[in-house]
Amino acid sequence: MKKDEILEILIDWNFWEKEQDVGKLRENLINNLEDLLKINEVITITGVRRCGKSTALYQFCKGLIDKGCNKKDILIVNIEDPRFRNPSIELLENICGTYIEELQPSKRHYVILDEIQIVNGWEKFVRFLHENKKVSVFVTGSTSKLMSQDYSSVMTGRHVDYTTYPLSFREYLSFKDVEINTKIKILANKHKIISLLKEYIEFGGFPKVALLDKNEKNKLLNAYFEDIITKDVLLKHRIAEKEVLVELSKYYLSNMASIHSFNKLKNIFGVSLDTVQRFSEYLSDAYVLFFVKKFSYKVKEQILNPKKVYCIDAGLRNAVCFRFSEDIGKLYENIVFLLKKDL
């Protein structure tokens, strides 16, 4: 690509010449990123697609600028911009070369590479950036296995990982401008909190969905599901059996917070055990599902026993699956699981 083409794309995504929409502030998430920055390693941010990774980094960058950082000292690259044809290491080198030549960043600068997983071998390039001590590097991806097996050793000891999720209920209330920082506030907003809890259980915590009118929420959630399945599972793993994958996904989602056996699932769907295991792993990698092993002191038993399955977001599940009225207990259990998962 020509330098002018690259620069034109970068102008659209950066703060250099215009303000960027940073959305509703997720204060706790931003505080965590600021703490991670002090470690002075590459920060890898992963999480399900559309959970707010990119927006959080925009908020983080806006905070840097508000504290006096020069706008030209921040480079944001959205690798998934379709104008970046055939993303590659060579393209990343051209992007950074164009940035340095045209913007001439001074002092310490920051490089954010969004949805980096689509560039093969990105780890070597990021290591090169990191070894220049003036550069703080953030990378994001929509897969739990952001680093390929071939290149993971390249980044050993040089990165810290941070996983983001859709909004917790506390964050959801903040998005709706409901304060709960004191007992008086909670009691004063009691009826509104109960009403919003019902909405949260129905439509989940994806940030953009939270701010939409109710009649638009399910439409966007269905689009998210299709996007995740297509980009982060089908295309990434080159799967031809889309129908089997989608039906297995919906089966898991319909029966979330329940115990599942791969052997039983292979009989239900008429596929091999290997197919069920692989597809389940892919859905887990894309943060659609979480598989919890039965506790046992024996590793073999943990592997062989049926697993309990939870999903990333109640709203996503409700939008794409047939529902039963008695599901409410499982929905609550799923929400509690997500809260406790990383404690």
Q: What is the pLDDT of residues 230-284, one digit of tens each?
A: 999 999 999 999 999 999 999 999 999 999 999 999 999 999 999 999 999 999 9
DSSP, res 133: T
Between CA 230 and CA 326 the distance in angstroms is 31
Element (H, E) at 193: helix 190-203
Instruction: From residue 85, give the alpha-carbon distance in Å to each of 80, 90, 281.
Output: 9, 12, 29
> What is the rounded average pLDDT of the residues 121-125?
92
The residue behind tokens 């310490």 is: 108
- Ranges 12-21, 92-101, 123-132, 274-283: which has the least confidence: 123-132
Report the top-level CATH class of 170-340.
mainly alpha
Q: Is the pLDDT of residue 301 over 90?
A: no
151: pLDDT confidence band, cut at 50, 70 and 90? low
Residue 209 in this model has a pLDDT that exceeds 80: yes
Distance CA(165)–CA(150), nearest Å, equals: 27
Whether 343 has a pLDDT exceeding 60, the answer reads no
Over residues 83-101, the pLDDT tens digits come to 999 999 999 999 999 999 9
Q: What is the DSSP letter of 341?
A: T
Q: Where are the domains of the chain?
A: 3-164, 170-340
- Which residue carries 């898991």 as its tokens? 252
C-alpha to C-alpha distance for 72 and 50, rounded to whole angstroms: 27
Residue 141 near residue 115 (C-beta atoms within 8 A): yes
Q: Is domain 3-164 given the CATH code 3.40.50.300 in the classification? A: yes
- Asked whether the beta carbons of 134 and 39 are under 8 A apart, the reply is no
Q: State the Cα–Cα distance between residues 342 and 339, nearest whole angstrom.
A: 7
